[in-house]
């Protein structure tokens, strides 16, 4: 399992995610970015940053 704290990438955001593996992260980030950050699309650099902030659990 991987966990990701959005606040590591977007200062001030308190959202946390848990995904079965790294491949599942982009869709989670995209859904959250759209719903909570108002982003219609997720920039590749944000996905990259999210991957870099993943923690194995
Ligand atoms: Zn967020």
Distance (angstroms) between ligand 1 centre and the Cα of 14 equals 7
Confidence (pLDDT) at 42: 83
Q: What pTM, to 2 d.p., does this model score?
A: 0.80
Give me the pLDDT at residue 56, please.
Answer: 94
Q: pLDDT tens, 30-53?
A: 899 999 999 988 888 888 888 888
Nearest residue to 38 via CA among 3, 10, 1? 10
| Mean pLDDT estimate for the chain | 90
User: Which residues crowd ion ligand 1, with CB under 5 Å?
Assistant: 6, 10, 13, 15
Q: How far is the CA of 30 from the centre of ligand 1 (A)?
A: 10
Segment 7-29, tens digit of pLDDT: 988 899 999 999 999 888 888 88
- How are the residues of the chain apportioned to helix, strand and coil, as percentages rounded to the nearest 5? 50, 20, 35
Whether the CB-CB separation of 9 and 45 falls below 8 Å is answered with: no
């Amino acid at each position: 399992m991987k966990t990701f704290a959005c606040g590591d990438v977007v200062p001030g955001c308190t959202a946390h995610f848990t995904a079965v593996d790294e491949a599942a992260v982009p869709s989670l980030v995209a859904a959250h970015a759209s719903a909570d950050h108002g982003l219609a699309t997720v920039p590749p650099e944000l996905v990259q940053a999210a991957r870099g902030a993943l923690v194995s659990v």
